[in-house]
């Protein structure tokens, strides 16, 4: 199956990131503080600097982690200085629900590549576009998977953002938090620029377009083989 959507690997496990870096299908990387915590990262800066010695040729996003906008800006300037392929993730608001617009505006004006994250509505995307147009390139990350978790169909929202961004060629849409491989197909079909997924989803890419009868037979063989190996009897 031909894919026009760019595939980004989402994670903070060094071994897994390097595995995906070696995969020619992967065009970039995203991380966040939660993924770093799960991966056991102790030093944010040391982890990032180490990964950047390997991933030099593809975009990679690192997120600020303060709740104060002045401190966020300081962190963003520091993170952005580490390498030319870095996009700095800025949440759409802080934990007090205060808009990050002014911060995004300042960073874009300073030519920091920004990835605005944790967005789930069209209105949120529209609210930051005037700030992002000042930069040389940026991402808007819409968490389609979490929209679905809330019981809403993310496709109308994602389609509307795709249409809006036709007038903003320097801003790319990331389909974030996919829940299954089929989301890659959906993102591709609506013309989304990027989809970022965890390694467990990306490792399923070879199954795309697979003959379903053959896939069914392989599944039957798997169940049979596992039962035989386990030595089950009744």
Residue 134 banded pLDDT, cuts 50, 70, 90: confident
Residue 54 banded pLDDT, cuts 50, 70, 90: very high
The residue-averaged pLDDT of 102-125 equals 98
Catalytically annotated residue among 37, 74, 89, 113: 89
**Which pLDDT does position 136 carry in this prediction?**
82
Give pLDDT tens digits for 178-198. Answer: 999 999 999 999 999 999 999
40 pLDDT exceeds 80? yes
The residue-averaged pLDDT of 109-114 equals 97
- Residue % of the chain over a pLDDT of 70: 100
Residue 135 banded pLDDT, cuts 50, 70, 90: confident
Active site residue 89: yes
**Which pLDDT does position 21 carry in this prediction?**
98
Measured at the alpha carbon of residue 156, what is the angle toward residues 151 and 161, in degrees to the nearest 5? 120
Give yes or no for a contact between 167 and 148, defined as CB atoms under 8 angstroms apart.
no
Residues 6+ apart with CB under 8 A from 69: 94, 98, 100, 102, 103
**Which pLDDT does position 112 carry in this prediction?**
97
| Token pair for 234 | 């009744």
CB-side neighbour CA atoms (13 Å) of 214: 5
The residue-averaged pLDDT of 36-54 equals 98
29 pLDDT exceeds 80? yes
pTM of the predicted structure, to 2 decimals: 0.96
The residue-averaged pLDDT of 120-134 equals 97
Instruction: For residue 115, list its beta bridge partners.
Output: 89, 139
**Mean pLDDT of the residues in the chain:** 97
Residue 130 banded pLDDT, cuts 50, 70, 90: very high
Domains of the chain: 6-206 (3.20.20.70)
Give pLDDT tens digits for 144-188. Answer: 999 999 999 999 999 999 999 999 999 999 999 999 999 999 999
């Amino acid at each position: 199956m031909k894919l026009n959507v760019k595939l980004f690997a989402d994670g903070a496990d060094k071994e897994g990131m390097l595995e995906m870096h070696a995969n020619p299908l992967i065009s970039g990387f995203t991380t966040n503080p939660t993924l770093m915590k799960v991966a056991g990262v102790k030093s944010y800066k040391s982890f990032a600097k180490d990964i950047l010695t390997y991933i030099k040729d593809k975009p990679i996003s690192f997120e600020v982690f303060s709740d104060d906008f002045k401190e966020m800006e300081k962190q963003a300037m520091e993170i952005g200085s580490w390498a030319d392929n870095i996009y700095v993730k800025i949440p759409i608001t802080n934990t007090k629900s205060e808009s990050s617009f002014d911060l995004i505006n300042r960073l874009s004006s300073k030519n920091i590549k920004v990835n605005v994250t944790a967005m789930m509505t069209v209105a949120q995307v529209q609210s930051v576009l005037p700030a992002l147009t000042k930069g040389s390139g940026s991402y808007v990350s819409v968490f389609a998977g979490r929209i679905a978790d809330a019981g809403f169909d993310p496709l109308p929202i994602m389609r509307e953002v795709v249409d809006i961004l036709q007038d903003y060629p320097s801003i790319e849409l990331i389909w974030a938090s996919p829940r299954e491989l089929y989301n890659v197909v959906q993102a591709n079909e609506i013309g989304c620029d990027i989809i970022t997924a965890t390694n467990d989803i990306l490792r399923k890419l070879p199954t795309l377009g697979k003959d379903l009868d053959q896939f069914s037979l392989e599944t039957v063989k798997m169940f049979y083989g596992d039962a035989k190996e386990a030595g089950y009897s009744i």
